[in-house]
Structure 1
Amino acid sequence: MQDNPGMIWNFTKMHGAGNDFIMLDGVRQPIHMTPERARALADRHFGIGADQILLVEEPLHPEADFRYRIFNADGGEVEHCGNGARCFVRFVHEQGLSHRNPLRAEICTGLIVLTETDDGEVTVDMGQTRFEPADLNFDADGLATQACADDTLYRLDVPGHEGPLLWSLVAISNPHAVLQVEDVEHYPVDVVGPAIATHPRFGQGVNVGFMQVQGPGHIRLRVHERGAGETLACGTGACAAAVAGMRRGLLANPVRVDTHGGTLHIDWEDGRLRMRGPAATVFNGQVDIDALTATFRESTRI
C-alpha cells in the first residue's frame, strides 16, 4: 500500500466465525475515531460494512504488548469482544506489528492473554467472570428471582411476549443476559433481543443471548448485541451462555457453541475462562475517511 497521506486510512476486513470487523492500525498511522466515523465505516450500504471496528494502539499499561479499542456499528465504544480479540491476534501477526505469541492485550477493563495455535485458531484467556447485578449495572430492585443450581435467574419480561422470561446475568468485561429457549432457530430474537438490550433496568445496555441446549457439552446460540443487532457469532456471548449453562447444572465443561457463523469452544475451569475459535482475513484496503463520512452524513440526512 502507498504511504498514508493523512486522512487515507489503511484497513483490513476480518471475521471470526462470521462476526465481521474493520481492523485499523493506530500504531503506524494516526487514527482519530469518532462515533460518526465509526458509523460510516460500519454501514453496509454506504461504508465498508462491519459489526464492529477494532483500533489497535500502543499500550498504556506497562505489561501489555498493545491496546485495542472496540466500536460498535452504532458508534458506541464497548468493553470487550471475544471474536474481535481473536482477529486482533491474527491482525498483529500478519501485519508484522509483533511476532510475540502469546500476546498480552490491554482493553478498557484490564489485560487479556491471547495465543495463536498451530491449527490456525486462536485461544483467548477471557479474564474475570462476574454474576452480581451491580457488575452489569442492572437494577434488580423488586424483580422476582428463581434459584437454579448455582445460578440466580431474574424475571424480566417483554410486553406482549408470552413469558415468563428468566435470565442469567453474566459479566465478562461487557454485560450479558442469557435466556434458555427450546428452539433457537424459531425464537423471536428480533423482538425479544432489542427489547432486552435497551431495557431501562440495564444502565449501559446488555448483550442478549438465546441458548438451546443440545447436550451436556453442546449448545446452539444466537446473540443480539447492543449497538450492532444480531450477529453471526459473539465470542463473549458464547462464553456467557456456556458459563450460564454450567452454573444452571445443564452443561459440563468444556462446551461446544454452534452459531450461525461457526463453532466456538469454551473451557471454564478453576475460575479460568478460555475461548477457542477461528479468525480470518478477508481483504486489505484504503478508505478516505473524510469523504466516506461526508457521504454517510448526506445519506442519513432526512
Structure 2
Amino acid sequence: MKLSFTKMHGCGNSYLYFNCFEQSVPNPEALSIRLSDLHFGVGSDGIILISPSDRADAQMRIFNADGSEGKMCGNGIRCVGKYLYDNGMVGNRTTVTVDTLSGVKTLELTVQDGKMQTARVDMGAAVLLPQKIPVLYEGNSAVDVPIVVDERVYHMTCVSMGNPHCVLFLKEDIDDLDLARLGPKFEHHTLFPERINTEFVNVLPDGSLKMRVWERGSGETWACGTGACAVGVAAVLNGHADKNSCITVHLRGGDLTVQYTDETVFMTGTATTVFKGEIEI
C-alpha cells in the first residue's frame, strides 16, 4: 500500500501531512513513529492527517514522533491552512476553519501569487485554571510559582492553549541549556499528570522574547506555536509585555507574533511546503 504525503514546516516545526480526503491512513500512531525517525524514516516532528469535517473546512489530527496524539499544534494548523488553500480545497477564500481536538480554529490567510504566505490564527482563550491545564497546584492560576527540578528552584507560569505548557523566564542564556537532559525532567515531573510542554525564555532588551521548547512526545523542536502563545500570555501575566500588544517571539526556526487579548490569543506566522513524497507501508 502506498501513501502520498507532503512535508511542511512552520518555523522549522516539521510534520508530514496526509490528505485523508483522498486516502485512508491506517494505524497513524505506528506510522508516525516510523516516519518521524531521521535515519530510518523521513524525519519529522510527527504526522498530521487532513480529513473531512462536518463543522469546518477540514479536520486535523496530530500524532507526535512517539506516536501519541496531540490536541493542537499552532505551527501545524498554519500548514494545514496553506495545504487547503494552495491545493484549491477552499477555493479563493482567505478565511479558513480547521477542526481540532481543542475546537474549531479560524485562520485568516495572506496570499501572494496564488499561494498562502502567512496565517493569523485565532487560537482561542488561554486557560489558566490549574485543574484544566492540568497542573497539580491549588489556586485559580499558577503564575510565577516555584517548581523544584534537579534540586534547583525554578518559577513557572502554567497555561493551556489546547495543550499544557509550563513557561520559565530565565536570566541565563537559554542557548546554553542542556535541554536533552533538562526537558524530560519537566515533561515527566509529578506536578503534571498528563506530562507538559516546557518553554525556556529570555526577555531581550527590546522587549521581544527568545524561547526554546521541549515538547512532550517529541523532545526539543525548532518551534511550537501553542508554546509561543503560552509564552506571550505568561509574559503579560508576569509584567514583561502588555496585553493587546504584538509580542515577537524568537524561536530556533523563526519568529512568531502573538497578541493576548481579553477574549482570545492570536498567532501570526509563515508556513512552508518542503516537498511531496510517497511511502510504501
Give the TM-score taking structure 2 as reference length. 0.92
Q: Which structure has the greater CA radius of gyration?
A: 1
**1:132 matched to which residue of 2?**
129
SS at 2:267 equivalent = strand
Aligned residue in 1 for 2:170: 181
Q: Does 1:114 align with 2:103?
A: no
Write out aligned runs for 1:282-301 (5 A): 282-289=274-281
Task: Indicate if the aligned counterparts of 1:128 and 1:173 stay in contact, CA closer than 8 A.
Answer: no
Return 98-107 or 17-26, whichever deviates more: 98-107
- One-letter identity of the residue aligned with 1:23: Y
Deviation at 1:288, TM superposition (A): 0.6
Asked if 1:13 is matched to 2:7, the reply is yes
- Structure 2 distance, partners of 1:125, 1:65, is 15
Give the distance between the partners of 1:95 and 1:33, measured in 2 at CA.
25
How many residue pairs end up in the alignment?
273
Give the conservation status (yes or no) of the 8 Å contact 2:200–2:211.
Answer: yes
The offset of 1:140, in angstroms, is: 2.0
Q: Shift of residue 37 of structure 1?
A: 1.4
Shift, 1:268, TM fit? 1.3
> In the superposition, relative to structure 1, how do residues 92 and 33 fare at CA in structure 2: closer, same or farther (>3 Å)?
farther
Distance 1:226 1:13 in 2: 21
Select which of 57, 68, 79 maps to 2:51: 57
Residue 172 of structure 1 aligns to which amino acid in structure 2?
Answer: M
Query: CA offsets, 1:119-146, max 9 Å, x none?
Result: 62111110121111111222226xxx9x
**Which of 9, 13, 23 is the aligned partner of 1:29?**
23
CA contact (8 A) 1:71 1:78 kept: yes
- Aligned residues: percent identity? 34
Shift of 1:216: 6.2
Aligned partner (choices 207, 210, 213) of residue 200 of structure 2: 210
* SS across alignment from 2:159: strand
**Secondary structure at 2:176's aligned position in 1?**
coil
1:171 corresponding residue in structure 2: 160
> Which residue pairs with 1:296 in the alignment?
none
In structure 1, the partner of 2:251 is 259
Partner of 1:300: none
Q: CA deviation at 1:151?
A: 6.4
Quote the Cα distance in structure 1 between the aligned partners of 2:205 and 2:53.
41
Confirm or deny: 8 A CA contact 1:86 1:278 kept in the other structure. yes
Give the 5 Å matches for 1:189-268: 189-215=179-205, 217-252=207-242, 253-268=245-260
Q: Quote the offset at 1:52 in angstroms.
A: 2.1
Task: Report the AA paired with residue 146 of structure 2.
Answer: R
In structure 2, how many angstroms separate the alpha carbons of the residues matched to 1:41 and 1:128?
Answer: 33
* Moved >4 Å (runs of 4+): none
What pairs up with 1:143-158 in 2 under 5 angstroms? 152-158=143-149
| Structure 2, gaps ≥5 residues long | none
Q: Check conservation: 1:217, 1:254, Cα contact below 8 A.
A: no
Structure 1 gap segments, 5+ residues each = 1-6, 290-302
Q: CA deviation at 1:159?
A: 2.4
Is the CA contact (8 Å cut-off) linking 1:20 and 1:51 kept in structure 2?
Answer: yes
CA drift of 1:227 comes to: 0.5
Q: Deviations over 1:1-22 (max 9, x none)?
A: xxxxxx2111000111111110
- Aligned 8 A contact 2:124 2:263 in 1: no
Asked whether the 8 Å contact 1:170–1:177 carries over to 2, the reply is yes
* TM, length-normalised to structure 1: 0.86
Per the alignment, do residues 217 and 125 of structure 1 end up closer, same or farther by CA in structure 2, a change over 3 Å counting? farther
